[in-house]
Chains A and B, each alone.
Chain A
Amino acid sequence: MSEQTNPVLTFKDFQSDQEVRWCPGCDDYIILRAMLKALPEMGRKKEDFVFVSGIGCSSRFPYYVGTYGIHGIHGRAAAIATGVKLANPELSVWVMTGDGDAMAIGGNHFIHLIRRNINIKIVMFNNEIYGLTKGQFSPTSLIGQKTYTSPYGNIQPPFNPGQLTIGSSGKYFARVPGNDPKMMEELFVKAEKFKGTASIEVLQNCVIFNDGAFEEITNKETESENQIRIEHGKKMIFGKNKDKGLILKGFKLEVVNIGENGITEDDILVHDAHEADPTLHLMLVRLQNPVVMGEIRRIEETSYDEVYVERMESVAKKSPFKNLDEMFFSGDTYVVE
């Protein structure tokens, strides 16, 4: 081993020796590729990464990355990752999960991880279906969606992952289409720098059980009309000809055409990802047409693990005992002769 502290690593350094076994054509391959490209850019040592997952197609991910990893049990990745991180806060800890793993069986751990704001990154592969159990509806499946457990149409209203994140006092939420490795790679690197829980939703197409779920949003022909990619400090403009934008009308977001009805670029909203008040961010995560991509919310605050470490240190300084023996023999002891 070289003694260099931060050796220059490449895509290959982060590949594992395991054969990747997702279905041909699955977006998961794109996510894996984007992650393997992003990891060397994060400027950290390979041995300091830990990938943690639960159960589901997404959760095979740790086997395919050549870092440390735990393939856990269904729904519990967020909790396992919490233990990994609190025990060793120096590590870069990633939770790779799906819509069922994170929001159904693991819903409790998902919301509490976000509430605590521990410096852990969650990448949720949202395909609006259960893949590994072969085609049942998930907590993000749409009303009316036909699956093996909803053959006459799903009647359970879906969760919106962004709304759930913000509702759990989330400080970071981003959304990215599963067919855009470039955008994913950039987002992963940005998220790694964020001090706190980052919740990233990937709109991931399941080619077998829910093919085309995001077709209208991610199709190269229509994506520029149906997606809006936002960046902090920039105007929220979209469309093939960059001629559409978002304005606030009353308490609602509205899509307007620039140059029509007296609307100019000056009227278009500027995205402020750092605004603590979540009102506008909630409107953005809920927007159906266009669907908002990018870092919607990014509020830098002290993370739980920072406070945790600081508290451990400050309490240790105030210890009333030099060592355990001193405590054992302190207070009300007595001698038997």
Chain B
Amino acid sequence: MIALHADFKLIYKLLTKIMTEKKLKLTGGTVDSVVIRFVGDSGDGMQLTGTQFSDTSAMMGNDIATFPNYPSEIRAPQGSIYGVSGFQVQIGHATVHTPGDEVDVLVAMNPAALKTNLSSVPVGKTIIVDTDSFNKKNLQKAEYDENPLLTGELNNFVVIEAPITTLTRESIADIGLDNKAMTRSKNMFALGMVFWMFSRPLKYTETFIDKKFAGKTQLIEANKRALRAGFNFAETIELISSAYTILPAKMDPGIYRIISGNTATAWGFLAASEKSGRPIFLGSYPITPATEILQELTAKKYFGAKTFQAEDEIAGISTAIGASFSGHLAITTTSGPGLALKGEAIGLAVMTELPIVIVDVQRAGPSTGLPTKPEQSDLLQAMYGRHGESPVIVVAAKSPADCFNMAFEASRLAMEHMTPVILLTDGYIANGSEPWKIKKTEDLPIIYPNDLKSSREEWMPYKRDPETLAREWVLPGTPGFEHRVGGLEKKDGTGDVNQSPENHQLMVKLRAEKICRVKNNIPLMQVDGAQEGDLLVIGWGGTYGSLFTAVNHLFESGQKIGLMHFSYLNPMPKNTEEILKKFKKFIICELNMGQLHTVMNSKFPEYDYFKFNKVQGLPFTVLELTQKFEQILNNQ
């Protein structure tokens, strides 16, 4: 192991004595999966700490699922309850589909973090606290009358009290940083401790520190030393008799990387651009939690992606519509409030039949709502939130890595069918990350935009492909095909302005039929678990991980339960009704008040659907789902 610095040895000896006196004992051993949550002030670096831990674990072959949970304030007042920022990761030796319900190890950097997270920690699990932060001021801010470390209220947990701030400062005192800068490294100390607990190597994080602080030798030294000090501290005090061991997960062979949903979305678009030969144009206005897509594509400008930070949401989509007219893979990214603003412009794209992808990274609403918390409450807005009969394709991603697939699919469908496509993700999968089995571009399907095929004589602006009903995409600069498109109703075929009653009805039907026929160009629905039986769980989008885990657990225990999870919401896969016919009971689970429930009731009214809804700005827990499903299964 790593040699200890002479001075530290002394400190550690003293501490070992303290800890031994407290008779700390932890149970360790081999486990299937562990949930760890790092919580602290929004400025404490908890997101970075969590990311380092999960990335390192993934490198070791564990499957991981992460969930950053942070406040909308950038730097909320120190020590306050609403300023608590957390990062949860589940690491597993089996495939993990969620960041986990209950926390096995909670790292709480201050009293507020402990207070707000204690309810997620079951009795008997481990809590690591920074005792330095449990002073009078912080206890008051966290609304503790007495110090919970002294009252005995934590007696049922394994509490590891470590003076993390002091130890961090001691370990880096001679580097020459001021107090504030020294204290900042305390997250690395905590990370070092957890690395020891789970037998993780430090190498990955050390390389990361080298890169992050390149050129700032003092900071590199401070962070590395704090990390090592934390690791050694945990070892020296024999924090646990034998560390947790989590064997590598059984995953498909291949090359993996950890990817977040927003990055995967951006990369999916890059891949779609390559496979369609159409350059990207992204017109967007920054909005939480969608902004990273704009940032990522801007950073990857060298692949020819044009990005444009517009003056507002409406300008974002309007520039994209203009770029679509000019022949680009046109995209705009937003969240719920922005989707509301873009509604009129989406109608223009419907009328002009121009391809465009609108990404809505959903967040809890209405209005500004809970900007950093996930919800699935924009489904009906995506389906129907425009004036007039204005159908569009609606698709949804089910996990961080799946954002790559669905961004690619949204682009493919937009350009092959000449229509706007709304891609729904959410703050949970957009900020969460998981291993992505990297796809080679050669293995992705070719996208065939509905380009000009007709001769000059037979071509008309609204001449349609007989199979898909898509009109041809003819770009400015093409001689002899000059034409005008616009928001006024178009005459069938010629595209001339026309307001006759029969023509309007015909065009409304054609636009609806065009979207309906997309079902011929999307995969069939695959059911997880039982293919027929007692209970069909129905879901869509980012809840897949929790739903799958709960359903699979019951299925493996012998229940006839299946999961039908929608990636394609409008139109739905052709075999949707066939699947419904094979089950007795149905439950639709959503992070809203029942929006897919409304859609299913209108599309397939002959079935009775239970519903299970949650609107707390939090994902489903596997436990609450399992209990609900068991309740329905047992009532039969």
User: What residues of chain A have their CB less than 8 Å away from a CB belonging to chain B?
Assistant: 1, 16, 18, 45-52, 55, 62-63, 66-73, 76, 79-88, 90-91, 108-109, 112, 308, 311-312, 315-316, 318-321, 323-325, 327-329, 331-337
| A88 close to B441 (CB less than 8 A) | no
Q: Given A83-B318, A328-B267, A337-B253, are A47 and B497 neighbors across the interface (CB < 8 Å)?
A: no
Q: Is the CB of B322 within 8 A of A16?
A: no
Whether B484 lies near A82 (C-beta < 8 A) is no
- CB neighbors of A among B471-519 (8 A): 475-488, 496-497
Known contacts A80-B318, A109-B315, A315 near B302 by CB under 8 Å = yes
User: Known interface pairs A80-B321, A83-B323. Does A68 touch B302 (Cβ–Cβ under 8 Å)?
Assistant: no
**Could you say which residues of chain A place their CB within 8 Å of the CB of B352?**
70
In the complex, B528 has a CB within 8 A of chain A: no
Distance, CA A15 to CA B474, complexed state (A): 20
CB B269 to nearest CB in A, in angstroms, measures: 11
Q: How far is the CA of A238 from the CA of B476 in the complex (A)?
A: 43
Question: Which residues of B line the A interface, CB within 8 A?
Answer: 55, 58-59, 61, 204, 248-249, 251-258, 267, 270-271, 274, 279, 281, 283, 300-304, 306, 308, 310-312, 314-315, 318-328, 330, 344-345, 347-348, 352, 437-442, 475-488, 496-497
Contact B348 A312 (CB under 8 A): no
A52 CA to B484 CA, complexed, in Å: 9
From the candidates B256, B270, B326, B488, name the one contacting A88 in the complex (CB within 8 A). Answer: B326
Known A79-B314, A83-B326, A88-B326: A328·B302 in contact at CB below 8 Å: no
Let me know if B308 and A86 touch, CB within 8 A: yes
Residues of B with C-beta under 8 A to A318? 302
> B283 — which chain A residues lie within 8 A by C-beta?
79, 83
A47-B476 contact, Cβ under 8 Å, with A87-B326, A332-B59: yes
| Known contacts A46-B482, A80-B318, A84-B323; is-contact A334 B61 (Cβ 8 Å) | yes
Give the docked Cα–Cα distance between A81 and B310 (Å): 13
| 19 residue pairs bridging A and B, Cβ less than 8 Å apart | A1-B479, A63-B484, A66-B482, A76-B314, A83-B319, A83-B322, A84-B326, A85-B322, A109-B315, A109-B318, A315-B301, A316-B304, A324-B303, A327-B303, A328-B257, A328-B267, A334-B59, A334-B61, A334-B255
B477 touches A91 (CB 8 A): yes
Q: In chain A, what residue has the closest Cβ to B476?
A: A68
**For B488, what are the chain A residues with a Cβ–Cβ distance below 8 Å?**
71
**Given that A47-B478, A108-B312, A321-B302 are known contacts, is A70 also in contact with B322, CB under 8 Å in the complex?**
yes
* CA–CA, A29 and B327, complex, Å: 32
Residue contact B478 to A72, C-beta cutoff 8 Å? no
Residues of B within 8 A of A308 (CB): 306
Which residues does chain A contribute within 8 Å of B308, judged by CB atoms?
82-83, 86
Question: Is the beta-carbon distance between A112 and B315 smaller than 8 angstroms?
Answer: yes
Question: Are A328 and B438 touching (Cβ within 8 A)?
Answer: yes
* Distance between Cα atoms of A252 and B539 in the complex (Å): 71
Chain A proximity of B93: nearest CB distance (Å): 12
Query: Which chain B residues lie closer than 8 Å to A329 at the CB level?
Result: 255, 257, 438
Q: Are A319 and B303 closer than 8 Å at their CB atoms? A: yes
- Complex interface: chain A residues within 8 A of B281 (CB): 83, 86-87
Closest residue on chain B to residue A69 by CB atoms? B484
- Contact among A73, A86, A312, A332 for B344, CB-based, below 8 A: A73
Report whether A72 and B486 are in contact in the complex, using a CB–CB cutoff of 8 Å: yes
Q: Contacts A72-B348, A112-B315, A336-B254; is A87 near B322 (CB within 8 Å)?
A: yes
Residues of the A chain whose Cβ atoms lie less than 8 Å from the Cβ of B475: 88
The residue on A at minimum CB distance from B481 is: A47
| Chain B hits for A83, CB < 8 A | 281, 283, 308, 318-326, 330
Q: What A residues does B481 contact at CB under 8 A?
A: 47
Cα A76 to Cα B321 in complex, Å, equals 11
A1 touches B441 (CB 8 A): no
Nearest CB on A from B318, distance (A): 3
Q: Which residue of A lies closest to B273 (CB)?
A: A324
Partner of B318, one of A51, A72, A316, A325: A72
CB of B246 to closest CB in A, whole Å: 15
Q: Most chain-B Cβ atoms within 10 A of its Cβ — which of A82, A316, A337?
A: A82
Q: Name the residue of chain A whose CB is nearest to the CB of B439.
A: A328
Given A73-B345, A88-B477, A332-B55, do A80 and B439 touch, yes or no (CB 8 Å)? no
| A109 close to B302 (CB less than 8 A) | no
**Secondary structure dominating the interface of B:** mixed
Please state if A79 and B271 are interface contacts (CB–CB under 8 Å): no
Please name all residues of chain A whose beta carbon is closer than 8 Å to the beta carbon of B279 when the two chains form the complex: 87
Contact of A87 with B327 in the complex, beta carbons under 8 Å: yes
A271–B268 CA distance with the chains assembled, in angstroms: 55
Residue of B nearest to A317 (CB): B302
Closest Cβ neighbor of B302 among chain A residues: A319
Contact among A45, A72, A86 with B487 in the assembled complex (CB-CB below 8 Å): A72
CB distance from B477 to the nearest CB of A (A): 6
- Shortest distance in angstroms between A67's beta carbon and chain B's nearest beta carbon? 5
Contact A332 B321 (CB under 8 A): no
CB B334 to nearest CB in A, in angstroms, measures 15
Are the CB atoms of B480 and A336 closer together than 8 Å? no
CB-based nearest A residue for B298: A315
- Find the residue from A49, A68, A87, A332 having the highest chain B CB count within 10 A: A87
Say whether B303 contacts A84, CB under 8 Å.
no
A314 nearest CB across to chain B (Å): 10
A55 to B348: give the CA distance in the assembly, Å: 12
Whether the Cβ atoms of B487 and A91 lie closer than 8 Å is no
Which chain A residues border B257 with CB–CB below 8 Å?
328-329, 331-334
Cβ contact of A333, chosen from B249, B252, B255, B324, cutoff 8 A:
B255
Chain B residues whose C-beta falls within 8 Å of the C-beta of A1 in the assembled complex: 479-480
State the CA gap A6–B300 with chains docked (Å). Answer: 37
CA–CA, A137 and B549, complex, Å: 61
In the bound complex, residues from chain B placing their C-beta under 8 Å from that of A81 are 322
The residues of B that contact A67 with a CB separation of less than 8 Å are: 482
Question: Could you tell me the distance in whole angstroms from the C-beta of A94 to the nearest C-beta in chain B?
Answer: 12
Which residues of the partner chain B approach A85 to less than 8 Å between Cβ atoms?
A: 322
Chain B minimum-CB-distance residue to A91: B476
How far is B174's CA from A323's CA once the two chains are assembled, in angstroms? Answer: 46
Are B484 and A108 in contact, CB atoms less than 8 angstroms apart?
no
Residues of chain B within 8 A of A315, CB atoms compared: 301-302
Cβ of B318 and Cβ of A76 under 8 Å apart?
yes
Query: With a CB–CB cut-off of 8 A, which chain A residues contact B59?
Result: 332, 334
Interface pair A47/B480, CB less than 8 Å apart: yes
Q: Is the CB of B480 within 8 A of A324?
A: no
Q: Contacts A73-B344, A88-B327 hold; do A16 and B484 have CB atoms under 8 A apart?
A: yes
* Distance in angstroms between the alpha carbons of A297 and B59 in the assembled complex: 61
Is B325 a contact partner of A312 (Cβ separation < 8 A)? no
